[in-house]
Amino acid sequence: MSDINNFVVSDFSTVFSGRPVYNRLLQSLGMFQFESVDQSRVNFDYLINNKQSTVDAVARYGSEFKSSSKSKASLHQFEIPHFALLDSVTPEDWQGKRMAGENRPMDAEDVVAQYLVNHYDSFEDTIEKYMADALFRSIQNAPYTQEPVIDLQTEFGLNQQVHNIDWSSAATDVDSATDDIQIKIKTALGERVRMMEKVVCVCGPQYFKAVKANAKVREAFTFVKPYEPENIIHNFYEVLPGVQYFDYNGIMFVMTTDPLHGVGSNDAYFFPKMRKESGVFKHFGGPASRHAGMATKGGARYHQYQLRDPKWANLEVVGEMGIIAVNHLPNIVVKSINAA
């Protein structure tokens, strides 16, 4: 707590740091590596070379040495979009009221706590949406910045792939089709394929139902358990209780109806679940910008704080967040429609 310009500031930025992220699929997959940024822009070097390489043998007692090639990189800069929330707390909000669900009077701290939770939920939903935009649409909406819509495909010169499958047709060789998709993903990953943990398919409802209704898939379920013990969602089921999923041919199919994901009912997106340290998926968090004292604390997932008016002792609950979610390899995502 500090006194700045006669306003008492209470920092609550870490109050939710240990709180589980319930039913937010993309965050629970744990692919996006978080990196805090102290400025309103993020600069990074993008490695151009993504090829695997081996070394040739030399004579054991000879004088010959081989050399390795240097990776080339290009510099990229994104301006981070900013989000700000503010809610005022006055005696009108709590005086003479009972705390919901409890037999005691409400106080100002109760109202502050509810606003903090509301801000937390809004920010976490926004993070989920920005991750979905980066993963499924290869864009980032950045209003009030130098580039209002960032096209990651144009930025990195790599395009999302397409592979439609007619799951409703008995003539479709679904094993071969899903093999082809996995081959596309692994080929696009290049040397980073070693950092891949699983291929995931996030489906709209009709696509998901068509996969489950496919005769070949149903036959496989007769002999193979569709819910594998090592399934990554099964391992986090306590924070993803509303998610439907199953495994088939090495792919985890997950149904989404979440409007934050923006996946069409008959559409699906196949992508590799990568280890965070792979650097393929990044979540950049920017600094606070409305309050000078908070701005000096640098970048964070988001900033939450309270201001107390010295004249009337009323409170203001403030939340600030800057976010850019980046998929550095848009071509490792394969869009699919349930169609021939």
- Rounded (10°) angle between helices 215-223 and 174-189: 90
Q: Which pLDDT value is given to residue 293?
A: 87
- C-beta neighbour count of 180 within 10 angstroms: 14
Residue scoring higher pLDDT (293 or 140): 140
Mean pLDDT of 50-59: 57
Q: Which pLDDT value is given to residue 3?
A: 45
Mean pLDDT of 304-318: 91
- Its pTM stands at 0.86
The per-residue b/e assignment along 71-98, b for 16 or more CB within 10 angstroms, e otherwise, is: eeeeeeebbbbbeebebebeeebbeeee
Q: Which residues pair with 273 in a beta bridge?
A: 198
- ∠ at Cα 29 (280, 253), nearest 5°? 105
Average pLDDT taken over every residue of the chain:
85
- Name the band, by pLDDT with cuts 50, 70 and 90, for residue 246: confident
Q: Which pLDDT value is given to residue 223?
A: 66
Spatial separation of the C-alpha atoms in residues 300 and 66, rounded to whole Å: 44
Residue scoring higher pLDDT (143 or 19): 143
Token pair, residue 303, equals: 């900033």
- Name the band, by pLDDT with cuts 50, 70 and 90, for residue 23: confident
- Check whether 14 has a pLDDT greater than 80: no
Q: Which pLDDT value is given to residue 115?
A: 93
Q: Which pLDDT value is given to residue 49?
A: 55
Spatial separation of the C-alpha atoms in residues 249 and 175, rounded to whole Å: 7
Q: Which pLDDT value is given to residue 245?
A: 87
In the chain, what are the domains? 2-48+74-150+280-326 (3.15.30.10), 157-277+329-337 (3.30.1930.10)
126, amino acid identity? T
8 A C-beta contact, residue 239 and residue 20: yes
pLDDT in tens, 254-302: 999 999 999 999 999 999 999 988 989 999 999 998 888 889 999 999 9
pLDDT in tens, 157-208: 999 999 999 999 989 999 999 999 999 999 999 989 999 999 999 999 999 9
Spatial separation of the C-alpha atoms in residues 22 and 274, rounded to whole Å: 21
